[in-house]
Each structure stands twice: as structure tokens, then as C-alpha cells.
Amino acid sequence: APADYQPAENLLEGKTILVTGAGDGIGRAASLAYAAHGATVILLGRTEGKLDALYDQIEAAGHAKPAIVPMDLLTVTEEQCMQLVAGLADEFGQIDGLLHNASVLGERRPIQSATYTAWQEVMQVNVNAAFLLTRHLLPLLQASPSASIVFTSSGVGRTGRAFWGAYAASKFATEGLMQVLSEELVETSNIRVNCINPGATNTTMRRTAYPAEHPEKNPSPEEIMGTYLYLMGEDSAGTTGVSFDAQ
């Protein structure tokens, strides 16, 4: 199973991979894992200090020099996406991997008392921003001989659960976007499109959602990287339209 995947050390050599929400949690671990397996990583996130610290760590480890893209997905415009793509086209010419990882949890409360502002924020960051980035990055992904787009789902993106509100709806939308895009690209391009549900993982988001839970009960982000590596490397070539569980 991809969760137990044993990647070759040079699995991602020569590949350029963009990770959203790279500064913390699962995105941070994935960025480090991709860099450690040879990729040049483009670190996109909203807190620049976290991206700078990660950049330093990757460089100190002797991996390929990363790039940093400070971007707030809550307020990102189509214009900003187009500027980003123009810059990446100049610097890299192509993108071989895109990990949509950034998300916000939003409110944990019944629909009846949910606020429209919080609903819109969750949909904006988790769904609309992922659409916008994908929409504008597709030409750079098509320029790659073999590209992989990975969306991040959740258990509540497959079966709804009380009080998970906009977050659950946003993850259903993410699964839908993955399926639509996968089918559109399957015959006509070298781009595969899949989802990962990380499962309960010890991050700030999990600790916020389950304050009464012992954090150490769940695996660290570093422990769930098998599927994240599998989907970015050539062993997953031809696999598309699938929603994976990382645990």
C-alpha cells in the first residue's frame, strides 16, 4: 500500500514541486520530504517567518535551493495567481508536482448557528484558492512530461459529520474537483490528479479540533509521508482519480 511505500532516495530528482501551506504541519513535513528526495520545492504560505525558517533548514541539509512564495489564500486574486505563474514560468519553465495542502478548520458548530463570514473563509481558502491556483498552473504542469496534482481531503470529505460545517462541505468539494479534473486530463495530458486523506495527525489543526485528546496519540506528519511521496514520484504514473488514505 502507498502508506507503507519505501521511496528511492533520488525519487524526485529533477522535479519542481509546489506545496501550499508549506510553513507548518503536514505541508512542512511534505516539503522537507520532497526536498530530501531530490525535488526543488516551492514553499507557498501565509506566514513568511515560517517559510524562511523552512528554507534555511532545507538549505542547511544540503538539498536543492527552494523558492518562497508568501501568499494569503484568503485574499488571493486571479491577478496574483497570474503573476505567480509568470514568475514560475521564468524561473522553472515547468512544474512537476502541486500539493494543495493549505486549509483552515473554521467553526466547529451546528449549521443553524454558523456565521456566513466563517463559511465563506473556509470555502475561499480550502476550495476557491485551490481552484484558482490549479486553473492558472495547468499550463506549467502540462509542460512537464509527467506531472502530479494532489489535493488534501479528510474523513469528513467522504461522510459528513455533525458540527463539521463548512470544513466538511469544503472537503466534499475538494473530492469533486479532483474527480472532475482527473477525468478531464486523463486522455489528453500527462497530469494525474488524486486526493490524500491524511487521517488524524498531530498538528495545530488536529489539536485545535480535538482539544481534549492526547496529541501524542496520533502520528506526527513525518510518519505519514509514504503516500505523499508515492503520489509525487513516477511509481504512481498512470494512477489518477483516486482518493487515498495516508494511514
Which of 74, 186 has the CB closer to ligand NDP?
A: 74
Please give the residue ranges that form the binding site for ligand NDP (CB under 6 A): 21, 23-27, 45-47, 50, 72-74, 101-104, 125, 152, 154, 198, 200-201, 203-206
Which of 144, 195 has the CB closer to ligand NDP?
A: 195
Pairing type for strands 16-20 and 147-152 reads unpaired
Which of 15, 206 has the CB closer to ligand NDP?
A: 206
Instruction: Tally Cβ neighbours within 10 Å of residue 37.
Output: 21
Provide the minimum distance between the beta carbon of 8 and ligand NDP in the complex, in angstroms, as a whole number. 25
Provide the minimum distance between the beta carbon of 160 and ligand NDP in the complex, in angstroms, as a whole number. 14
Distance (Å, whole) CA 83 – CA 19: 17
**Is-catalytic flag, 34?**
no
Provide the minimum distance between the beta carbon of 74 and ligand NDP in the complex, in angstroms, as a whole number. 4
Beta bridge partners of 245: 197
Q: Which residue has the closest beta carbon to ligand NDP?
A: 25
Residue for grid cell 519553465: 93
5, 34, 116, 167: which is the annotated catalytic residue? 167
Which of 189, 199 has the CB closer to ligand NDP?
A: 199
Provide the minimum distance between the beta carbon of 198 and ligand NDP in the complex, in angstroms, as a whole number. 5
Which of 50, 109 has the CB closer to ligand NDP?
A: 50
Provide the minimum distance between the beta carbon of 172 and ligand NDP in the complex, in angstroms, as a whole number. 13
- List residues with catalytic annotation: 167
